[in-house]
Structure 1
Amino acid sequence: MSAGVVIVGAGQAGFQLAASLREAGYADPITLVGDESDLPYQRPPLSKAYLADKITASGLELRPAAYFDDHHIHHRPGLRAVAIDRPGRRLLCADGEAVAYDHLVLATGTRNRALPVPGAGLAGVFQLRSRADADRLKAALPEAQSVVIVGAGFIGLEFAGICAARGLAVTVIEAADRPMARAVSAETAAYFTRAHAGAGVRFLFGTGIVAVEGEGRATAVRLGDGSAIATDLVLVGIGVVPNQELAEAAGLTVGDGIHVDAVLATDDPAISAIGDCARAPSRFADGAPVRIESVQNALDQGRCLAARLTGRPAVYDAVPWFWSDQGPHKLQIAGLAAPADTSVVRPVPAGLCVFRFRDGRLSAVETVDRPGDHMAARRILAQGLALTPAAAADPGHDLKALATGR
């Protein structure tokens, strides 16, 4: 009897693979192993709609429990994988169980980077990765008056927007000279700095913290210059690291992610990797391997791998895109920009539209509150259409017409 496909990781990528396999007619067993006790759920709303009480816990679920039974997907919640027996094609678990596989897929995601300072373990210091993390934050917010956020990335700024809307005093501490420094242009960073500051958020750039202080519970953060900021809630959002230990211990190639080829296969033909943990070559990075943390990437890699496992192999070639809801504004990014890429700002009546260019070629488009421009940018990048910096700067140059060939 076939052992089928075993998927380690019941997040967006792992679930999408299981669903796409069934949609493609895969008839052998599918086992979805997750170390959380919940049904597979969406993570992006945790720092947005869920914290703002605009969506319930059940509303986060990717599918109800009946879906897994109806589609014969064996969901194994609360099961932690600890090793891979490659010669025996078995996944070894913490409870002693060995799960046989014909093909193993690592969709292990990432984990939050820990704050390496004294006091990081005090009560009142939070991270936000799981629904349990979000529930703890939701329980603490009603009692909070002053919030310190360490890290001005997407999660930190989304949470800043939530807190500012509640009338809380919010301070964001960031080691770089601007928010989202690794993700967006200086122009987009400046737009969001102004937007958040206008809502009452205070930024401290070029600053780090050396300690969280308090007796049992955080009451202040100590900065590198010796000053302190009083607070009763600290959120740490200083990036993530890929969960690559299973792959590394099994002798697979890793390095800031599990290395895969253009069809998402690892060194072992019986093992693939997808989602936030996978580092794959991308034409949008000039063929270099990249690890992309986005729902889009998780979904598209799940679909791509399902096609290969059901006899329709194709190179993974989806346009990367991202979004972030911060206060009343929606940031959307299509493509992959490098720090040295130049920026061209298109004059628009509202929001923001920034085109990024590398050696005269469009590499990415950043928009704020302009969904039509974002969709056009995705089509332009997918088709590799030519757009000059001069045309990008011209508001009379119709992006939609270029994207649709009309």
Structure 2
Amino acid sequence: MSETFVVVGGGLAGAKTVEALRERDFSGRIELICEEEAPPYERPPLSKEYLAGRAEVPDLTVHPREWYSEHDVELRLGTRATGVHPGSHEVELADATRLGYDKLVLATGSRPRRLPLPGVDSRGVYCLRRLGDADRLAAALRRVDRLVIIGAGWIGLEVAAVAREYGVGVHVVEAAHQPLLEALGPRMGEFFAELHREHGVELHLSARVAEVLNSSGVTGVRLTDGSELPADAVLLAVGARPELTLAETAGLDIDNGVLVDTGLTTSDPDILAVGDIADLRHPTFGRLRVEHWANALKQPAVAAATMLGHSASFTELPYFFTDQYDLGMEYHGFVPGDVEDRVVVRGSLTDRRFVACWLDGSDRVLAAMNVNVFGQNERIRTLIHSGVSVVPERLADTTYSLDDVDALRKRPVGST
């Protein structure tokens, strides 16, 4: 009897999972359940090219709608899954329909965090996660003069850069003492702070919002110190939470996300998880869940292999990128929160052309970020994967190539 594989999730991870199954010649039935009406699309451009008007919906779409029919994938758009019943191997939909499955992949992604603030539901308060959110925010940026962004993470800063392109005055309110502090630490946080200040963004650091002010629409925000920032629109950009509702109804093991092994199988052998929700046991970093585009792109191939009975492991380094003003950046690796890290810079912070490397206490490179210096990805990945302790002074010296790991290596005392 032919098997049925069901994938829940209308983003990049869901689309790439069904693609990988067909590429591996799975001939059974495939159902892809998408809550949105649009076919699966990539989300990173929503805060960059698409928001700025430099990309259109087809540029974001993973596959055109006809691809799914051509590859015999039943695409269920505008359909919400509300429950999973592992005992009967069924997915329950909002209309009470139940779909049977032999294998199930959860690719449910994340949802924006909300803040319990007075006035947060006012007209003129936006979040950014879906295509419709980006359309509404772009329309606002074309008509407003003043925008307050709550949160100086990647989404907040990318939107700030686009808003300045529109000529909108931007204030960013961040509870930490630097932007991107959790992701990059204080030194690189200050680098991004200066980038935005130079482009006219007002940063309010170590600050919190007490209230969104409104009078038949947003008029500004009040901070906890009593000061007020006038605004015609407010963006909530305070991070995201993994969408774990279905995993919870299935009774799966959950911690920071859905616990999966290196083959992306959950505590139920017939259910897998990919993308933002997957809390993976990584061979280098241990338990790791990151909300990165690269995971949604690459984990599905491993999940498909696992579903088809092949041995496969996801061992890729975390990777993400950003574009802000004339700055392009790529980041590889991961720095655990309990590691006392140090940053070594190769190149010029002033010229904004450099590679920053994060070292642990043993001088091993945990992560690296290349800013306006491209073509370094393979070198950086090799250096991180090597696990060698390096000489920090050599790493900072651009006359030493990142290709030559042996030359960067720290030698034991007394060795030659």
TM-score (norm 2): 0.93
Aligned position for 2:413: none
Deviating beyond 6 angstroms after TM superposition, the runs of 4 or more aligned structure 1 residues are none
CA distance in 2, matches of 1:246, 1:350: 44
Tell whether 2:346 aligns with 1:343: no
Aligned position for 1:397: 400
Contact in 2 for aligned 1:105/1:272 (Cα 8 Å): yes
Contact in 2 for aligned 1:83/1:250 (Cα 8 Å): yes
Q: Give the deviation of 1:351 after TM superposition.
A: 1.8
CA distance in 2, matches of 1:206, 1:121: 24
Tell whether 2:331 aligns with 1:329: no
CA distance in 1, matches of 2:389, 2:45: 35
Q: Give the deviation of 1:401 after TM superposition.
A: 4.7
**CA distances 1:216-252 after superposition (whole Å, capped 9, x unpaired):** 2110100000111100011110011111111112211
Relative contact order, higher structure (CA 8 A, sep 6+): 1
Question: How high is the sequence identity, in percent, across the aligned residues?
Answer: 36
**CA distances 1:87-145 after superposition (whole Å, capped 9, x unpaired):** 11000111111011000111110000012101000011000000000010111111110
Aligned position for 1:364: 367
Equivalent of 2:355, from 348, 353, 356? 353
Equivalent of 1:302, from 294, 300, 303? 300
Q: 1:161-176 maps to which residues of 2 (within 5 A)?
A: 161-176=161-176
Equivalent of 2:288, from 286, 290, 303? 290
CA distance in 2, matches of 1:280, 1:243: 16
Q: Give the deviation of 1:331 after TM superposition.
A: 2.0
Partner amino acid, structure 2, of 1:334: H
Relative to structure 2, which stretch is displaced further, 103-112 or 337-346? 337-346
Q: Give the deviation of 1:384 after TM superposition.
A: 4.4
Contact in 2 for aligned 1:150/1:234 (Cα 8 Å): yes
CA distance in 1, matches of 2:65, 2:405: 44
Contact in 1 for aligned 2:85/2:249 (Cα 8 Å): no
Tell whether 2:192 aligns with 1:192: yes
Partner SS, residue 115 of structure 2: coil
CA distance in 2, matches of 1:350, 1:151: 24
Measured on the aligned residues, the alpha-carbon RMSD in Å equals 1.7
Aligned position for 1:113: 113
Q: Give the deviation of 1:338 after TM superposition.
A: 2.7
Aligned position for 2:66: 66
**CA distances 1:227-282 after superposition (whole Å, capped 9, x unpaired):** 11100011110011111111112211112211111211111101111100111111
Partner amino acid, structure 2, of 1:196: H
Partner amino acid, structure 2, of 1:4: T
Aligned position for 2:411: none
CA distance in 1, matches of 2:403, 2:15: 33
Q: 1:11-90 maps to which residues of 2 (within 5 A)?
A: 11-90=11-90
CA distance in 2, matches of 1:319, 1:209: 35
Contact in 2 for aligned 1:284/1:335 (Cα 8 Å): no
Contact in 1 for aligned 2:4/2:103 (Cα 8 Å): yes
Q: Give the deviation of 1:31 after TM superposition.
A: 0.8
**CA distances 1:341-399 after superposition (whole Å, capped 9, x unpaired):** 12112234642321111232110001211122344212333454664423311211111
Contact in 2 for aligned 1:318/1:382 (Cα 8 Å): no
Aligned position for 1:376: 379
Relative to structure 2, which stretch is displaced further, 36-45 or 57-66? 57-66
Contact in 1 for aligned 2:141/2:166 (Cα 8 Å): no
Aligned residues: 402
Partner SS, residue 182 of structure 2: coil
CA distance in 1, matches of 2:58, 2:15: 16
TM-score (norm 1): 0.95
**CA distances 1:44-79 after superposition (whole Å, capped 9, x unpaired):** 000000011111122211111111111111111111
CA distance in 1, matches of 2:40, 2:352: 37
Partner amino acid, structure 2, of 1:356: W
Structure 2 residue runs without a partner (length 5+)? 407-416
Contact in 1 for aligned 2:142/2:166 (Cα 8 Å): no
CA distance in 1, matches of 2:163, 2:342: 33
Relative to structure 2, which stretch is displaced further, 338-347 or 7-16? 338-347
Partner SS, residue 347 of structure 2: coil
Partner SS, residue 182 of structure 1: helix
**CA distances 1:129-170 after superposition (whole Å, capped 9, x unpaired):** 000000101111111101100000000000000111222211
